[in-house]
């Protein structure tokens, strides 16, 4: 579909939110919570956080919740009754998603439709539309341009808004889903002039060559010294994986009560030692440097090799929240530039 | 800073230690942990207000231990942690060199852990103004309000365990959450799972937590988990007169008892 | 009209309180039927998580009871328990969990009457407080 350019006046946001909510959809948008910003359900644009670079947690919980019920079971006499969960998810519009996060959905989708079609994820994704928001600013942790993205990248957004000089938004309608959203209140989307989108985007030069990185990685697998050096200060918490929009590892937990129980799917992280602990007691990734290596190799080598998508979108969240200041970007640059 | 670097260089040149665990310049305006192994690299060491992380968390890591005998840059909170680890038989005299940093940023050399104990006994440890204000605010709330406050906080928890990973006293090679026979604490980040995790962590650290505040700093979603440690440390001092991290052979509050222990709620 | 019947879980030590409750029975003293007893060798063995699990599984009130100080069958189990309860109770209170629903007592093997009194008191008080819906409502939150 060819991208349609429209103009959305900033004063029209209120009406747009109203119309979207009235159409039976819920709106998730970044909301300020003390020093953090989380995606929460909102009704009006006043609730949306202003003037920020990135949210604390990603929006992946809209399609891949932190704790999701798979099914419930009950004992009735000697019978076990299984109740599959309801797949009737409320249609959702994610408003204000940055281009890096919008790209992450293709990474998530690649895993959930690879060898098994994950119905839960698919249904949620089908009913999710994205009104993305281009970045006018970036900080030292951002590196979307180094991994094939950009502050105004439209991949993954159904409508991409770029705030222009007057405070109004240039609205690019990218997909059919985007067209459907416009159709909810077409009068709010005026024809755009010849506003130059590039002018309003953050300038973010590439920090390293992705190709150089991907080529070097397979050969570095056995370079234990490198991985030890990089990971000495890593504490092995799971925070990086949990805030990452492209991380998709999960754990299945059965929680039982006397008369029944529930099976849940929850987020997990390869940074935990428990992640690869075998029942025999053997752990192929016994020490942190092996787990750090896994993180880098998985996201920048295996993911691309197997699924044709890169496993990182350069949002920088992992580095912002890391309690040990690991700073992924620094490590990637070091690897890409090694041997120069 | 210069004294520290000088001492660090001496220690490495004489091979009295194999690695200096200290602070270096990190991203943005943060400091980060550095592991200096070459004398020429000691200039990486910095010492200022950005140096807040509790470095003692690295003392028990297998990869850091493999580097050899360490010298560790230790602000007061780290000194207390070292004493607490010593009380728990995790470190012994002679296994490390403690490069103390006084509250006014001067280097203090300690010949042994007893010297650390003597020094710490002369320091006062106050909670930050922000923490004191929040604790007071919670004290004034009634029970239902407090419940609401903590449930809202815990609803943000994603069970990333950054609080556990950043805590130098959470060094169990197999944490209680990782045991599934029985699964005592739910793994899932639902409301009850989060509540039970934080209760267990607070209780397992009761009488051991040295109130360094790293857990609260590490939490990516901003839950003030360090307040639980602060509250319990207050309670334990009030009820039993014990404070963690003050002696080389400290007493564990929940491992000992006195006939005179007082309470007002047992019928 | 159905009146609320509180579910009370009692964690008791084998040597004192359990024996005491036994005495209540043999003395034919009637008392509220709302309590479900869980026998442990000693109060020192009571993990604080057990209390939370009781609330998880629907308890409205909890009783924890054991031997009087100096009378513990294992010498000092109840002393360790006492310290643990002091700390745990202050944590629960700090978190806003209803400590009015958790009762601690020393009931010896000879105190059959005290046990009945205690259970009757707890049943009455919990009945007034109503079901512990605040906690029960937590059970389904956070699961999508």
Give the distance from residue A260's alpha carbon to the nearest chain C alpha carbon, in angstroms.
Answer: 12
| Alpha-carbon gap: C112 to the closest alpha carbon of chain B (Å) | 15
Residues of C in contact with A72 (CB under 8 A): none
Residue C1 is predicted with a pLDDT of: 42
Contact A274 B178 (CB under 8 A): yes
State the complex-level ipTM: 0.93
Q: For residue A180, which phi and psi values (nearest 5 degrees)? A: -60, -40
What residues in A contact C142, CB-CB < 8 Å? 66-67
Two tokens, residue A60: 């992946």
Q: For chain C, how many helices (H) and strands (E)?
A: 5, 4
* DSSP-derived secondary structure letter, B141: S
- CB B259 to CB C48 under 8 A? no
| DSSP sequence for B46-76 | B-STT--S-GGGGTT-HHHHTT-SEEEEE-H
Instruction: Find residues 24-83 of chain A whose CB sits inside 8 Å of chain C.
Output: 61, 65-69
The DSSP annotation for A156-215 comes to: T-SEEEEE-TTS-EEEEE-SHHHHHHHHHSGGGEEEP----GGGGS------S-HHHHHH
A 10 A CB-CB count for B174 gives: 10
With an 8 Å Cβ cutoff, is A334 touching chain B? no
- Residue A339 banded pLDDT, cuts 50, 70, 90: low
B and C: number of Cβ contacts within 8 A? 114
Instruction: Calculate how close chain A gets to B194, using CA atoms only, in Å.
Output: 11
* Chain C residue at shortest CA distance from A67: C143
Split at pLDDT 50, 70, 90, the class of A340 is low
d(CA A162, CA A335): 34
**A33 interfacial to chain B (CB closer than 8 Å):** yes
* Rounded distance between C-alpha atoms, residue B45 and residue A257, angstroms: 54
Chain B touched by A34 (CB under 8 Å): yes
Residue with tokens 């006062």: B124
Question: 3-state DSSP call for residue A11?
Answer: helix
Pairwise CA distance, residues C48 & A92, whole Å: 42
Task: Tell me whether strands A36-42 and A26-33 are parallel, antiparallel or unpaired.
Answer: antiparallel
Contact (CB<8Å) B199/C141: no
CB contact under 8 A, C49 and B200: yes
Contact B158/A at CB under 8 A: yes
Residues of chain C falling short of pLDDT 70:
1-2
Which residues, numbered 159 to 198 in chain B, qualify as contacts with chain C under a Cβ-Cβ cut-off of 8 Å?
Answer: 184-185, 188-196
Closest CB to C84 among B148, B191, B254: B254
Nearest chain A residue (CA) to B32: A325
pLDDT per position as a tens digit, B178-232:
988 888 899 999 999 999 999 999 999 999 999 999 999 999 999 999 999 999 9
| Alpha carbon of A247: minimum distance to chain B alpha carbons (Å) | 13
Indicate the residue of A61, A68, A257 with minimum beta-carbon distance to C57. A257
Most distant CA atoms of chain A, gap in Å: 71
pLDDT bin (cut points 50, 70, 90) of residue A167 is confident
**Residue A138: is its pLDDT beyond 50?**
yes
10 Å CB burial of residue A113 (0-12, 13-18, 19+) is middle
Alpha carbon distance C78, C45 (integer Å): 9
Q: A327 in contact with B at a CB cutoff of 8 Å? A: yes
Q: Is there a contact between B257 and C138 if contact means CB atoms under 8 Å apart?
A: no
Task: State pLDDT tens for residues A14-31.
Answer: 999 999 999 999 999 999
CB B225 within 8 A of CB C50: no
Tens place of pLDDT per residue across chain B (267 aa): 889 999 999 999 999 999 999 999 999 889 999 999 999 999 999 998 899 999 999 999 999 999 999 999 999 999 999 999 999 999 999 999 999 999 988 999 999 999 999 999 999 999 999 999 999 999 999 999 999 999 999 999 999 999 999 999 999 988 999 988 888 899 999 999 999 999 999 999 999 999 999 999 999 999 999 999 999 999 999 999 999 999 999 999 999 999 999 899 999
A237 and chain B in contact, CB less than 8 A: yes
Contact B254 C88 (CB under 8 A): no
Tokens standing for residue A138: 């970036």
**Helical segments of chain B, H only:** 2-13, 62-65, 76-87, 113-121, 129-140, 143-155, 162-166, 191-205, 214-218, 226-240
Q: Say yes or no: B261 contacts chain C, CB-CB below 8 A.
A: yes
Strands A67-76 and A260-267, sheet pairing: antiparallel
**Does residue A99 contact residue A125 with C-beta atoms inside 8 Å?**
no
Residue A318: pLDDT over 70: yes
φ, ψ of residue A162 in degrees (nearest 5): -125, 125
- Chains in contact with A, counting 3 or more C-beta pairs less than 8 Å apart as contact: B, C
Give the span between the Cα atoms of B192 and C139, in whole angstroms.
6
C48-56 vs C77-95: helix crossing angle, rounded to 10: 50
Q: Closest partner residue to B160 among A238, A287, A327, by Cβ?
A: A238
- Residues 200 through 259 of chain A touching chain C, CB cutoff 8 Å: 257-258
Chain C residue closest in CA terms to A256: C57
CA–CA separation, A162 vs A88, rounded Å? 32
DSSP A64-121: S-SEEEEEEEEEETTEEEEEEPP--PPPEEEEEE-HHHHHHHHHHHHHHTSSS--HHH
- pLDDT tens-digit profile of A66-107? 999 999 999 998 999 999 999 999 999 999 999 999 999 999
* CATH, domain C8-136, list 2.60.40, 3.40.50, 3.30.1490, 1.20.950: 3.40.50
pLDDT tens-place string over residues C55-93: 999 999 999 999 999 999 999 999 999 999 999 999 999
Question: Taking CB atoms and an 8 Å cutoff, what residues of chain C touch B147?
Answer: 95-98, 134
Q: Mention every residue, 6+ apart, whose C-beta is less than 8 A from residue A68.
A: A120, A264, A265, A266, C143, C144
Element (H, E) at A54: none
Are C57 and A264 inside 8 Å of each other by CB? no
Of the candidates C73, C25, C77, C90, which has an alpha carbon nearest to the alpha carbon of residue C46? C77
CB-CB neighbours of B135 under 10 Å? 17
Please tell me which residue of chain B has the smallest CA distance to C84. Answer: B254
What CA–CA distance (Å, rounded) separates C35 from C62?
Answer: 9
Chains in contact with chain B (at least 3 beta-carbon pairs closer than 8 A): A, C
* C-alpha to C-alpha distance for A156 and A132, rounded to whole angstroms: 8
Q: Is the Cβ pair B253, C87 closer than 8 Å?
A: yes
pLDDT at C2: 61
pLDDT for A172 beyond 80: yes
> SS in 3 state form for A208-240?
CCHHHHHHHHHHHCCCHHHHHHHHCCCCCCCHH
Which residue of chain A has the CA closest to C56?
Answer: A257
């Amino acid at each position: 579909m060819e991208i349609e350019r429209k103009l959305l006046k900033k004063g029209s946001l209120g009406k747009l939110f109203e119309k979207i909510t009235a159409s039976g959809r819920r709106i998730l948008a970044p909301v300020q919570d003390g020093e953090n910003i989380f995606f929460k359900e909102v009704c009006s644009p006043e609730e949306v956080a202003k003037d920020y670079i990135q949210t604390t947690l990603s929006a992946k919980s809209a399609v891949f919740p932190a704790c999701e019920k798979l099914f419930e079971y009950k004992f009735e006499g000697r019978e076990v009754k299984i109740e599959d969960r309801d797949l009737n998810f409320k249609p959702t519009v994610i408003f204000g998603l940055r281009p890096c996060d919008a790209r992450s959905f293709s990474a998530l989708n690649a895993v959930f439709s690879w060898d098994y079609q994950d119905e839960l994820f698919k249904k949620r994704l089908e009913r999710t539309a994205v009104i993305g928001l281009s970045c006018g600013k970036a900080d030292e942790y951002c590196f979307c341009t180094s991994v094939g993205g950009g502050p105004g990248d439209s991949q993954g957004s159904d409508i991409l808004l770029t705030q222009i000089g007057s405070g109004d938004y240039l609205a690019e309608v990218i997909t059919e889903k985007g067209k459907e959203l416009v159709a909810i209140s077409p009068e709010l989307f005026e024809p755009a002039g010849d506003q130059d989108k590039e002018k309003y985007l953050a300038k973010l030069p590439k920090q390293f060559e992705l190709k150089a990185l991907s080529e070097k990685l397979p050969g570095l697998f056995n370079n234990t010294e490198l991985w030890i050096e990089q990971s000495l200060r890593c504490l092995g918490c799971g925070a990086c994986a949990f805030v990452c929009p492209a991380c998709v590892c999960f754990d299945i937990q059965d929680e039982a009560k006397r008369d029944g129980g529930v099976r849940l799917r929850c987020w997990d992280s390869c940074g935990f030692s428990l992640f690869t602990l075998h029942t025999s007691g053997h752990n192929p990734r016994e020490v942190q440097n092996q787990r750090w290596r896994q993180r880098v190799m998985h996201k920048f080598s295996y993911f691309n090799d197997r699924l044709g998508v890169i496993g990182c979108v350069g949002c920088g969240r992992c580095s912002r929240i890391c309690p040990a200041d690991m700073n992924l970007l620094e490590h990637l640059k070091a690897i890409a530039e090694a041997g120069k | 800073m210069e004294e520290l670097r000088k001492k660090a260089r001496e220690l490495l040149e004489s091979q009295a230690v194999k690695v200096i665990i200290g602070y270096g310049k990190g991203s943005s305006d943060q400091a980060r942990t550095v592991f200096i192994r070459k004398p020429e690299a000691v200039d990486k060491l910095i010492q200022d207000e950005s140096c807040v992380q509790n470095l003692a968390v690295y003392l028990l890591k297998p990869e850091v231990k493999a580097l050899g005998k360490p010298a560790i840059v230790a602000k007061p909170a780290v000194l207390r942690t070292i004493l607490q680890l010593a009380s728990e038989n995790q470190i012994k005299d002679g296994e490390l060199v403690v490069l103390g940093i006084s509250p006014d940023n001067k280097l203090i050399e300690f010949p042994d852990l007893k010297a650390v104990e003597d020094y710490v006994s002369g320091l006062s440890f106050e909670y930050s103004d922000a923490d004191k204000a929040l604790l007071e605010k919670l004290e004034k709330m009634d029970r239902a309000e407090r419940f609401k406050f903590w449930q809202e906080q815990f609803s943000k928890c994603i069970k990333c365990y950054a609080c556990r990973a950043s805590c130098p006293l959470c060094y169990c090679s197999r944490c209680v959450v990782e045991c599934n026979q029985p699964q005592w604490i739910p793994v899932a980040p639902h409301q009850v799972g989060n509540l039970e995790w934080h209760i267990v962590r607070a209780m397992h650290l009761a009488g051991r937590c040295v109130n360094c505040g790293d857990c609260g700093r590490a939490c990516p979603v901003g839950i003030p988990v360090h307040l639980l440690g602060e509250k319990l440390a207050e309670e334990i001092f009030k009820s039993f007169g014990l404070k963690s991290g003050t002696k080389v052979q400290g007493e564990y509050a929940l491992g000992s008892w006195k006939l005179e222990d007082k309470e007002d709620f047992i019928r | 009209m159905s009146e609320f019947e509180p579910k009370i879980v009692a964690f008791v030590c084998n040597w004192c309180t359990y024996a005491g409750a036994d005495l209540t029975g043999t003395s034919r003293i009637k008392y509220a039927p709302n309590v479900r007893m869980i026998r442990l060798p000693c109060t020192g063995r009571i993990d604080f998580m057990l209390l939370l699990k009781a609330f998880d599984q629907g308890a409205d009130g909890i009783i924890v009871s054991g031997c009087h100080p100096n009378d513990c069958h294992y010498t000092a189990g109840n002393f360790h328990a006492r310290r643990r309860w002091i700390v745990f109770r202050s944590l629960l209170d700090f978190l806003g969990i209803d400590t009015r629903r958790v009762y601690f007592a020393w009931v010896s093997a000879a105190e059959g009457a005290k046990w009945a009194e205690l259970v009757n008191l707890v049943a009455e008080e919990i009945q007034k407080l109503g079901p512990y819906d605040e906690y029960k409502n937590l059970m389904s939150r956070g699961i999508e």
